[in-house]
């Protein structure tokens, strides 16, 4: 907590560490109330660093120092200084051993950084700067050491004691205590350290690597959750095989462990050999978890596993390079999910996510480059830009190089930088060196914030058969970056003939003939023209196929062209995108005038898509899902909260009424009760039938509501149960209340299912939702100390219920600000993240602007604001 204004840290100030730590020997005497940590560090001066004043400055926060010695000699108080953020030792030798003993207090640690208590277990979270809450250290990622960790604890209370690496010793001690020692042979930065102590049980399996080594796999959970680990284990083995095949990466230790923890600030953490997970991303049974949950588990398990090479073996030089590991690892987990599931549906989901979170971030007051150049609190930079846009930037390089050269480049990266702490620039250099391409301009994607806007003008000359696309790019200013250089933008295009078939893409000046399909144009100037030759008639362009770059296209396509693309484009992504643009136009027309007629050909296209028995059902469900209320708001000059909500209801109702028969038929044809399987076809079938049921329910169709009630009662899988519950709750009345009570009665013993019960209420558009949310905060199952509960209730209300959170009376804003202030001293990371729901206040009308600004100002005025909340609030107000 700060009294003075927290200060920013700048990339340009990076200096190599003056000291290095080669080896760490830790001994923990574990107790939730008071844990003792003894550390022995082998330190030496860094030959690569310029010499400073000779002092050694170690990070350390909230540590009670009990003993400190250099080379075995205890120091006198005059030989060191302890301050708020660490410890300074004057005039130390060039090479020496440092011993410290500190006391820490896990049970009081509500920030969930460092060593903390979750239920009956003890666990750690060290990324980004949590290790300094465990012991005095050079807590920065470019200091890599080998670790030996001894854990001592009461054997009955904590029978399982885990840390990174391999177990090397285990024995009983006096007084009912026992000891375990772990050694991690791979040098790592401190943020990858982890320990776990608890009464846990493991599901065990094994994996034989490509080179024939056996790896023991263990997933540790509380005993009653042992029946919810199968999917996680299957996902892990798939991910391990895939990384060998696709990237040539083999696992390197003899044991790989995952632990599920119920108090966790983020999704999961890639600690070396000991991944620690939010239990939400481990535990699943068909009756407790939805398809979305199964999907999330598969990708997060893969993501953390993939970090073993992209993050752990090769790590970040400093936290400005966070996207080096996160962007690349997200790209890898996206590709994994595409390969083991459905590539087209995966891409649509990823772009939906990018548009919902990253584009708004990139045009708001918290906009920052993929490689930021300053931060106040690094925890605020685990963002959609660093993760999702970072993945797009890797994807563009992969596509520019093509599969063979990209593989050559990643091989080079792994070989050249294994064991090092490096930068995004080092990554790009590997791409250049392996391919011979010059990516100098491309590097701007890491340096410039903001989303380029593309506008395209077409011209066709019937006499010469020439068709040209003139493309302009413009990137609006972002905080601290008023002027932007043009980006290097790959633009994948196709041209459709009148029959809907792809035409050959012969560019003027091509020496060889070109095949029909997709061609990548490279835009490097602010304005550039591309001319195709040999066309008999004006084609319909299919631009940005597969979403080749994180840009916004200002499309001028006519509704007819969009309908044509939706029906014929050989690129599934663009069929979806055309449908989205069309629906967006209809919805915005309804915002202007709720009585506006919807064109007949829209219903015809919708019905035709629905009745196409051949089509991929998951893809179809995506095509027929309208853009969200939040996304529509992003497309307006001023967000019309109520108009958008009304338009959404009107569109849903009219589709439900007009296409009643087709929707009912689709619902019935896809409603089955065969045993649950998490297979792409089944997932698609459930998505489609629940979408159909949703449209019918919006129309208030009695048969549909009866079907929802029946589905709620009969379904054995959580996907169908939740879909039905949502419809019943949103429809309101007795049936909704009864369903909620019944659901809670059935699942009150499963916290992750109770989260769904909270969310479905928090996201309901019913008028009394805020009252409900406030009442639920008093429920016995709710706790501000558990981030999953906070996200499920408060986060869901503020981020996934635009019409109620942004109610014009400002009560939603006051509610959020109150929660931020309550969470600020408890868990600053979560408090700051919640506050982000209000940072785009300038996008709303004057009344709402004033209300939000006042709440943010009230937060800024509060005493003892954390650096986390201070940074978000002050940047939100723009000072
Ligand atoms: Zn990650």
pLDDT tens-digit map of 218-272: 999 999 999 999 999 999 999 999 999 999 999 999 999 999 999 999 999 999 9
What separation in angstroms does the CA of 445 have from each of 43, 367, 487? 38, 13, 7
Query: Could you read off the pLDDT of 387-430 as tens digits, one per residue?
Result: 999 999 999 999 999 999 999 999 999 999 999 999 999 999 99
* Confidence at residue 879, expressed as pLDDT on a 0 to 100 scale: 57
Query: Could you read off the pLDDT of 722-761 as tens digits, one per residue?
Result: 999 999 999 999 999 999 999 999 999 999 999 999 999 9
Distance CA 341, CA 339 (A): 6
What separation in angstroms does the CA of 294 have from each of 39, 232, 259, 282, 815? 40, 9, 17, 9, 32
Token pair 């003008």: residue: 457
Q: Which two tokens stand for residue 303?
A: 């993501």
Local structure of residue 676 (DSSP, 8 states): P
In this model, does residue 823 exceed pLDDT 90?
yes
The mean pLDDT of 681-688, rounded to a whole number, is 96
Quick one: CA torsion of 845, 849, 852, 858, rounded to 10 degrees? -160
Angle (CA) 595-599-603 rounded to 5° is: 110
E strand intervals along 750-819: none
Give the count of beta carbons closer than 10 Å to the beta carbon of residue 322.
Answer: 26
Distance CA 834, CA 855 (A): 13
Distance CA 532, CA 527 (A): 17
CA of 366 to the centre of ligand 1 (A): 21
Distance CA 623, CA 575 (A): 8
Query: Could you read off the pLDDT of 663-680 as tens digits, one per residue?
Result: 999 999 999 878 999 999
CA of 330 to the centre of ligand 1 (A): 7
The pairing of beta strand 315-316 with beta strand 421-422:
parallel
Give the count of beta carbons closer than 10 Å to the beta carbon of residue 504.
Answer: 17
Per the prediction, the chain carries an average pLDDT of 97
What is the helix (H) or strand (E) element at residue 737, kind and residue range? helix 733-747
Quick one: CA torsion of 362, 363, 366, 370, rounded to 10 degrees? 20
Burial of 854 (0-12, 13-18, 19+ CB in 10 A): middle
50/477: higher pLDDT: 477
Non-local (6+) Cβ contacts of 174 within 8 A are: none
Distance CA 128, CA 113 (A): 9
In this model, does residue 809 exceed pLDDT 60?
yes
CA of 347 to the centre of ligand 1 (A): 19
Q: Which two tokens stand for residue 661?
A: 């028969």
Give the count of beta carbons closer than 10 Å to the beta carbon of residue 370.
Answer: 27
Angle (CA) 877-866-481 rounded to 5° is: 40
CA nearest 37: which of 27, 48, 47? 27
Binning pLDDT at 50, 70 and 90, where does residue 375 land?
A: very high
Distance CA 218, CA 574 (A): 42
Distance CA 729, CA 238 (A): 38
In this model, does residue 773 exceed pLDDT 80?
yes
Give the count of beta carbons closer than 10 Å to the beta carbon of residue 712.
Answer: 22
* Confidence at residue 197, expressed as pLDDT on a 0 to 100 scale: 99
Distance CA 559, CA 756 (A): 39
- Which is it for the CA torsion 539, 545, 551, 554, positive or negative? positive
Distance CA 491, CA 598 (A): 32
Q: Which two tokens stand for residue 148?
A: 């030996």
CA of 328 to the centre of ligand 1 (A): 9
In this model, does residue 291 exceed pLDDT 70?
yes
Distance CA 537, CA 516 (A): 15
CA of 258 to the centre of ligand 1 (A): 15
Q: Give the three-class secondary structure for 490.
A: strand
Quick one: CA torsion of 817, 823, 829, 833, rounded to 10 degrees? -30
Give the end-to-end CA distance of the chain in Å, rounded to a whole number. Answer: 20
Distance CA 530, CA 789 (A): 53
CA of 309 to the centre of ligand 1 (A): 12
Distance CA 734, CA 740 (A): 10
CA nearest 205: which of 257, 163, 273? 257
Helix, strand, coil percent values for the chain (each to nearest 5): 45, 20, 35
CA of 268 to the centre of ligand 1 (A): 8
Distance CA 64, CA 133 (A): 10
CA of 711 to the centre of ligand 1 (A): 37
In this model, does residue 560 exceed pLDDT 90?
yes
CA 824 and chain centroid, separation:
22
Query: Could you read off the pLDDT of 631-659 as tens digits, one per residue?
Result: 999 999 999 999 999 999 999 999 999 99
For residue 128, say if its preceding peptide bond is cis, omega within 30 degrees of 0.
yes
CA nearest 188: which of 26, 315, 370? 315
CA nearest 375: which of 74, 128, 699? 128
CA of 191 to the centre of ligand 1 (A): 12
CA 309 and chain centroid, separation:
19
CA of 304 to the centre of ligand 1 (A): 6
Query: Could you read off the pLDDT of 561-582 as tens digits, one per residue?
Result: 999 999 999 999 999 999 999 9
Token pair 């199952």: residue: 781
pTM: 0.98
The mean pLDDT of 495-507, rounded to a whole number, is 97
* Confidence at residue 187, expressed as pLDDT on a 0 to 100 scale: 98
CA of 303 to the centre of ligand 1 (A): 6
Residues in the chain, total: 879
What separation in angstroms does the CA of 568 have from each of 458, 500, 584? 20, 5, 20
CA nearest 358: which of 324, 383, 379? 383
Non-local (6+) Cβ contacts of 124 within 8 A are: 114, 115, 116, 130, 134, 193, 194, 195, 196, 271, 276
Q: Which two tokens stand for residue 411?
A: 């091989």
What separation in angstroms does the CA of 780 have from each of 169, 218, 627, 683, 748? 42, 33, 36, 34, 10
Local structure of residue 397 (DSSP, 8 states): H
CA of 95 to the centre of ligand 1 (A): 35
Distance CA 262, CA 768 (A): 30
Domains of the chain (ranges; CATH) run 22-289 (2.60.40.1730), 315-447 (1.10.390.10), 454-555 (2.60.40.1840), 556-700 (1.25.50.10)
What separation in angstroms does the CA of 324 have from each of 378, 393, 399, 411, 424? 15, 11, 18, 16, 5
CA of 654 to the centre of ligand 1 (A): 42
Q: Give the three-class secondary structure for 22.
A: strand
Out of 304, 326, 377, 855, which one is annotated catalytic?
304
Q: 657 catalytic, yes or no? A: no
Non-local (6+) Cβ contacts of 813 within 8 A are: 805, 838, 848, 851, 852, 855
Distance CA 389, CA 386 (A): 6
Distance CA 263, CA 763 (A): 23
Local structure of residue 778 (DSSP, 8 states): T
Query: Could you read off the pLDDT of 74-122 as tens digits, one per residue?
Result: 999 999 999 999 999 998 999 999 999 999 999 999 999 999 999 999 9
Angle (CA) 808-814-817 rounded to 5° is: 135
Distance CA 798, CA 804 (A): 8
Non-local (6+) Cβ contacts of 87 within 8 A are: 57, 58, 60, 65, 68, 80, 81, 136
Q: Which two tokens stand for residue 83?
A: 């301050």
Q: Give the three-class secondary structure for 485.
A: coil
CA of 387 to the centre of ligand 1 (A): 8
Give the count of beta carbons closer than 10 Å to the beta carbon of residue 628.
Answer: 16
Give the count of beta carbons closer than 10 Å to the beta carbon of residue 677.
Answer: 12
In this model, does residue 2 exceed pLDDT 70?
no
* Confidence at residue 614, expressed as pLDDT on a 0 to 100 scale: 83
Query: Could you read off the pLDDT of 33-82 as tens digits, one per residue?
Result: 999 999 999 999 999 998 888 899 999 999 999 999 999 999 999 999 99
CA of 155 to the centre of ligand 1 (A): 33
* Confidence at residue 674, expressed as pLDDT on a 0 to 100 scale: 80
CA of 405 to the centre of ligand 1 (A): 25
E strand intervals along 213-311: 214-221, 255-261, 268-269, 274-278
The mean pLDDT of 451-471, rounded to a whole number, is 97
Q: What are phi and psi of 446, to 5 degrees?
A: -85, -25
What separation in angstroms does the CA of 109 have from each of 115, 204, 262, 785, 794? 7, 31, 15, 10, 22
CA of 267 to the centre of ligand 1 (A): 9
Binning pLDDT at 50, 70 and 90, where does residue 613 land?
A: confident
């Amino acid at each position: 907590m700060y009294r003075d204004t927290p200060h920013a840290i700048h990339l340009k100030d990076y200096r190599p560490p003056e000291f290095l730590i080669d080896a760490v020997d830790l001994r923990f005497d574990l107790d939730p109330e008071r844990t003792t940590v003894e550390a022995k560090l082998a330190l030496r001066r860094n030959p690569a660093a310029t010499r400073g004043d000779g002092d050694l400055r170690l990070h350390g926060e909230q540590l009670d120092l009990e003993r400190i010695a250099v080379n075995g000699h205890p120091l006198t108080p005059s030989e060191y200084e302890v301050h708020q953020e660490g410890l300074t030792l004057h005039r130390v030798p060039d090479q020496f051993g440092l011993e410290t003993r500190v006391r820490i207090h896990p049970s009081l640690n509500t920030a969930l950084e460092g060593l903390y208590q979750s239920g009956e277990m003890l666990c750690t979270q060290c990324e980004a700067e949590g290790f300094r809450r465990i012991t005095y250290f050079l807590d920065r990622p470019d200091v890599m050491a080998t670790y030996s960790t001894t854990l001592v604890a009461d054997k009955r209370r904590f029978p399982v004691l885990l840390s990174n690496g391999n177990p090397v010793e285990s024995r009983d001690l006096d007084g009912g205590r026992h000891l375990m020692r772990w050694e991690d042979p791979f040098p790592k930065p401190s943020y990858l350290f982890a320990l776990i102590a608890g009464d846990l049980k493991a599901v065990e399996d094994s994996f034989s690597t490509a080179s024939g080594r056996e790896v023991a796999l263990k997933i540790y959970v509380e005993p009653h959750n042992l029946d919810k680990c199968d999917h996680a284990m299957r996902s892990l083995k798939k991910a391990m095989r895939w990384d060998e095949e696709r990237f040539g990466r083999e696992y390197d230790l003899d044991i790989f462990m995952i632990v599920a923890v119920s108090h966790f600030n983020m999704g999961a953490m890639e600690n070396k050999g000991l991944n620690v997970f939010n239990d939400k991303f481990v535990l699943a049974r068909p009756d407790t978890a939805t398809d979305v949950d199964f999907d999330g588990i598969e990708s997060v398990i893969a993501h953390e596993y993939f970090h073993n090479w992209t993050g752990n073996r090769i790590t970040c030089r400093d936290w400005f390079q966070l996207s080096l590991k996160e962007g690349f690892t997200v790209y890898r987990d996206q590709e994994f999910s595409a390969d083991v599931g459905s590539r087209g549906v995966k891409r649509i989901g990823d772009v939906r996510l990018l548009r919902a979170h990253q584009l708004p971030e990139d045009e708001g007051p918290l906009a920052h480059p993929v490689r930021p150049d300053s931060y106040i609190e690094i925890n605020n930079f685990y963002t959609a830009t660093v993760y999702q846009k970072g993945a797009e930037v890797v994807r563009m390089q992969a596509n520019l190089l093509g599969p063979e050269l990209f593989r050559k480049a990643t091989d080079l990266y792994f070989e050249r930088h294994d064991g090092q702490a490096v930068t995004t620039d080092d990554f790009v250099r590997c791409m250049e060196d392996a391919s011979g391409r010059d990516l100098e301009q491309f590097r701007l994607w890491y340096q410039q914030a903001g989303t380029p806007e593309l506008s395209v003008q077409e011209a066709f000359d019937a006499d010469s058969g020439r068709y040209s696309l003139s493309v302009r790019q413009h990137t609006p200013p972002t905080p601290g970056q008023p002027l932007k250089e043009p980006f290097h933008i790959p633009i994948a295009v196709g041209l459709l003939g009148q029959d809907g078939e792809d035409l050959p893409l012969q560019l003027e000046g091509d020496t060889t003939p070109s095949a029909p399909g997709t061609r990548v144009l490279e835009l490097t100037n602010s304005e550039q023209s591309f001319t195709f030759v040999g066309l008999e008639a004006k084609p319909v362009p299919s631009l940005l196929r597969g979403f080749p770059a994180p840009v916004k296209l200002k499309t001028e396509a006519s509704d007819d062209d969009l309908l044509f693309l939706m029906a014929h484009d050989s690129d599934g992504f663009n069929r979806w995108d055309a449908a989205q643009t069309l629906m967006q136009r209809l919805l915005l027309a309804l915002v202007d005038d709720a009585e506006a007629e919807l064109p007949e050909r829209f219903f015809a296209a919708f019905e035709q898509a629905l009745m196409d028995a051949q089509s991929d059902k998951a893809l179809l469900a995506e095509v027929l899902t309208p853009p969200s209320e939040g996304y529509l708001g992003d497309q307006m000059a001023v967000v019309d909260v109520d108009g958008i909500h009304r338009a959404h209801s009107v569109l849903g109702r009219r589709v439900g009424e007009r296409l009643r028969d087709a929707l009912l038929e689709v619902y019935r044809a896809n409603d089955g009760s065969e045993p649950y399987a998490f297979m792409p076809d089944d997932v698609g079938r459930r998505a489609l039938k629940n979408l159909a049921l949703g449209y019918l329910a919006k129309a208030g169709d009695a048969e549909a509501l009866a079907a929802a009630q029946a589905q709620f009662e009969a379904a054995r899988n959580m996907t169908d149960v939740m879909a039905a519950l949502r419809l019943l709750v949103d429809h309101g009345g007795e049936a909704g209340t009864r369903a909620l009570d019944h659901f809670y009665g059935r699942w009150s013993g499963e916290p992750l299912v109770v989260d769904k019960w909270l969310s479905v209420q928090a996201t309901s558009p019913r008028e009394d939702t805020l009252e409900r949310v406030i009442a639920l905060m008093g429920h016995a199952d709710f706790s501000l100390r558990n981030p999953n509960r906070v996200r499920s209730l408060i986060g869901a209300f503020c981020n996934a219920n635009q019409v109620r959170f942004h109610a014009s009376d400002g009560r939603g804003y006051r509610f959020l600000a109150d929660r931020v202030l309550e969470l600020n001293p408890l868990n600053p990371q979560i408090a700051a993240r919640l506050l982000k729901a209000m940072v785009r206040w300038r996008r709303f009308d004057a009344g709402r602007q004033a209300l939000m600004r006042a709440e943010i100002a009230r937060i800024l005025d509060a005493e003892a604001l954390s650096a986390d909340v201070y940074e978000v609030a002050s940047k939100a107000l723009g000072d």
